[in-house]
Amino acid sequence: MQAHTPLLPVPVRRFASWCAVLLLLAGVVYVGIRLVVEFRTAVVPVLLALLGTALLGPLHRRLVKAGVPRSVAAGLTCVAVVAVVGGAVYIVVAALIDTGDEIVASLKQAARGVSEHFGAAGTSLDDLASNARELLGKFGGTAASGVISGVSVVGESVAMAVLALLLVFFFLRDSDKAAGTLRSLSPRGSADTLEAMARRALRAVEGFMRGTTLIALIDALLITLGLLVLDVPGAAGLGALVFVGAYIPYLGAFISGAVAVLVALADRGFVIALWALGVVLAVQVLEGHVLQPMIQSRTVQMHPAVVMVTITAGASVAGVLGMLLAVPLTAAAFGVVQELRARYGEEGESPTGES
C-alpha cells in the first residue's frame, strides 16, 4: 500500500504551527488586557498588592521567625510602608515646591540672555516667561472644566491605594496558606506544575523588586551625596525622586536626573549644572555596568530592548501605573516560561537523546 505523502513539507508545517500558537497567545493577551482595563479598579490594587507582598515578604518572614504573630507582623510591615512612602512623597513634593520659583527665575534669566544676543526673538521669549501667569489665566476656564473629572481620578486613586494596602496585609498574613489554596483549586494532575510555576513567578518578582529597591537606594544615596557636594538645594528631595523613579527602568532615571540637573541650573548656574549632569551620568553608568550585573544576576534577566517595549506597552495601556507594573509582570512571565522549559523541554528531548 502506498504511503500517504503530506501536502506541505515539514518546515512549512512547523512554521504554520508556530504561527497558530503565536496568534492564539496574542488573542489571549489582547483579551486579558481588555479585561484588565475594564476592571482596572479591582485588578490594579491586586497587582500592586502582589508587588508589595513580593517586596515586603522577607521582612514579614523575619518578624514571624522572631516570634511576632503573623497578623501583628503584617500590620507592622504595612505601617512601615506607609511611613516610608509617605515620608518620601512629602520630601519630594516639598523640595520641588521650594525650588519651583528658582527654576522659573532661571528660565526668565535665560530668556533675557537670549534677548540680549538675538534681539526680538529673545524678547518674545522673555515676554512669554514674564507673562506666564496671564497665559495660564486665559486657559483657566478650560482647566476648570476638568476639575470634577480630576477629583474623581484622585478619589479613585486613593481608593485603589487603600485597597492595595489592605490586600498587602491579608496576602502577608495568609501567605503560608497560598500553596494549599492553589493546589486545591488546580485541575487534577496539574497541581505540582501550577505550584512550581507560581513559585518561579514569585521568585522572579521578589528578585526584581529587591534588586531594584537596592539599586534605587544606592543610586539615590550617590546622587544625593553628589548634589550635597555641589551645594544644590533640595538634594534630599531630589534623591528621593531618584529612588522612586528607579522603579521605572531607564525612563524613570532619565526624568529624575533631568529634574536634578534643572534644579542645579536654576540655583547654581550652568557650570554646576554640568557637574550635576556628570554625577547623574556616572551613577547611571555604575548602575548599568556594575550594580545591575552584581545585584540582579540571580534573577530573571531581560534585554534592554524587551524592557523598553514592555514599558511602552504598559504606558499605552495604563499610563505611569502601567510603566510601573509592566516590567515586574514581564519578569514573572519570564519565570513561568523558564519553569515550563525546564519541565517540558527536558521531557521532549529525552526520547531524541535515547534514539
Model pLDDT, residue 23: 92
Query: What Å distances lie between residue 217 and 75, 88, 224, 263, CA to CA?
Result: 24, 12, 10, 21
Q: How confident is residue 114, by pLDDT bands cut at 50, 70 and 90? A: low
Residue indicated by cell numbers 528531548: 349
213-229 pLDDT per residue, tens: 888 888 888 988 998 89
Rounded to whole angstroms, what are the CA distances from 172 to 42, 125, 161, 193, 209?
Answer: 19, 55, 16, 23, 16
Burial class, 124, CB count within 10 angstroms (exposed 0-12 / middle 13-18 / buried 19+): middle
pTM of structure:
0.66
- Residue-averaged pLDDT of the chain: 75
Predicted confidence (pLDDT) per residue in 266-325, tens digit: 777 788 888 988 998 998 888 777 777 676 655 556 777 777 788 788 777 777 777 777
Side-chain half-sphere exposure of 104, counting CA atoms within 13 A: 12
